[in-house]
Structure 1
Amino acid sequence: MIALSLALIATGGAGVAVLLLQVGHRTEVVTVVRDVQVGQVLTEQDLGKASISLDPAVKAVTSDDLDQVVGKRAAVELRPGSLLSPSQVTRDSLVRAGEQLVPIGLKPEQIPATALVPGQKVQLVHVPAQGESETDKLADSAPKTLPGRVVKASDAAPGTGAVVVDVATSATDGPTVAAWVSAGTLRLVLAAPDGH
């Protein structure tokens, strides 16, 4: 009995030692400490550090790489208390040279069920205004469309459910898109994943 008890104590002690070693293996990672909007340049004040036991499957920016993410732009909206992953930052400006940013307000019935995310390609479609008369020729022709790319989509507004989507389009198309928005004749259509 004494020998069995000693063996159990030794086995239990070894298990506790392994558990302590696993718990003791911690990684210092970069965290988000305040709200960062899409496209905003990250500063040291936006970021913090935390020491955690990190699963290898989780992709997080380690504290050693903090200097490499400061100065980059947020590719998605960042929330306080979250870990920062490499895919959440970018060196690219979300609005590129030769592009314009056009805000598009969408009513609940105009919002796709698929969540709009930065970088998503869309088609901006011109539709006739409600009650506007059309000639047979116009009715038979395909509507005019322009390409665009989602930069940011707001949360649905309380009460109305309306969403504002910031869309990047070419500088030549920007004024046309803005006019369609103003006239209420624009619809936003999601492009296929390959952009076609």
Structure 2
Amino acid sequence: MSRTDVPAQAAAPQAQVVAPRAGAQARWQVRRRRPGMLAAAVACIAVCVAGNWWYWTQNGERQQVLELARDVPAGHVIKDRDLQAASVALDPSMKVVGVQQRGEVVGMRAVSTLRAGALLHPQEVTRRSLVKAGEQKVRIALKSGQMPQLKPADTVQVVFTGDVASSSGAAKSEDPSNPQTVTVRVVWVGAAPESSGEQVVDVAVDKAQGPKLAAQAAAGDVALAVNGAGG
């Protein structure tokens, strides 16, 4: 019997692999890669921001300025040991005192209480004479609760609360409804001592009124009256 060849179409069928369409494959790859790309972009932005911040803090334009090394009460003379140098990056609009002005600042007075660690501003110091010609300086001590908020250069009234000696030396009782007063200018405000609870303030007064004010202050027969805003 002769050998008969099997037709090609009768042979066992082979599995055929159908390649996906190019468009579908591209969309699948885009969907697969998009989360990774977003994460990489976010990480890149974070690195850039951190790098810019580090560069600014390390290499930004810094200035040598004066900083308070300790607290300086209002009215006190500023000493060299009260100051120290600080290197800071500042906004150009911020007014501070540079280290080159240290010699000028020493010997000036604090207009208000200066706190340790704060930068020194030009408006916080003055060279104005606190006690002028024809004036006397008198120290007044009051209980801390009786002391209003004061700063150097404030003008206040001192009210005599006790008997005021007359020109003949005899004590004269004052009308409580119309007490004697004297106008003074604040030159220094002290801190409240912890022991006595009193706070002191130095005032400049006309020398004609100085002795009377000093006597009343020594007896504790004074009070301070401060005008409100606008007089």
Q: TM-score range by the shorter chain?
A: 0.7 to 0.9
Give every structure 1 segment of 4 or more consecutive aligned residues whose post-TM-superposition deviation is greater than 4 Å. 2-6, 34-41, 55-59
Aligned partners of 1:73 and 1:93 also within 8 Å = no
For 2:224, the equivalent position in structure 1 comes to 188
Question: Residues 36 and 108 from structure 1, CA distance in 2 versus in 1: closer, same or farther, beyond 3 angstroms?
Answer: closer
**Shift, 1:120, TM fit:** 1.8
For 1:91, the equivalent position in structure 2 comes to 127
Unpaired segments ≥5 residues, structure 1:
none
**Shift, 1:36, TM fit:** 4.2
- Give the whole-Å Cα distance in 2 for the aligned partners of 1:42 and 1:156: 20
For 1:168, the equivalent position in structure 2 comes to 204
- Give the whole-Å Cα distance in 1 for the aligned partners of 2:78 and 2:198: 29
Q: Deviations over 1:52-89 (max 9, x none)?
A: 24456754323344344244333234444332121221
Give the residue type in structure 2 aligned to 1:10: C
Aligned partners of 2:68 and 2:83 also within 8 Å = yes
**Shift, 1:122, TM fit:** 0.9
For 2:49, the equivalent position in structure 1 comes to 15
- Give the whole-Å Cα distance in 2 for the aligned partners of 1:30 and 1:126: 43
Higher relative contact order (CA 8 A, sep 6+): 1
1:118 aligns to what SS in structure 2?
Answer: coil
**Shift, 1:159, TM fit:** 4.2
TM-score by length of 1: 0.75
- Give the whole-Å Cα distance in 2 for the aligned partners of 1:159 and 1:40: 21
Unpaired segments ≥5 residues, structure 2:
1-32, 164-170
- Give the whole-Å Cα distance in 2 for the aligned partners of 1:117 and 1:83: 20
Give the residue type in structure 2 aligned to 1:49: A
- The Cα RMSD (Å) is 3.1
2:56 aligns to what SS in structure 1?
Answer: helix
Map residues 40-51 of structure 1 onto 2, 5 A cutoff.
Answer: 40-51=76-87
TM-score by length of 2: 0.66
**Shift, 1:22, TM fit:** 3.3
Alignment coverage as a number of residue pairs: 188
Decide which structure has the larger Cα Rg and report it.
2
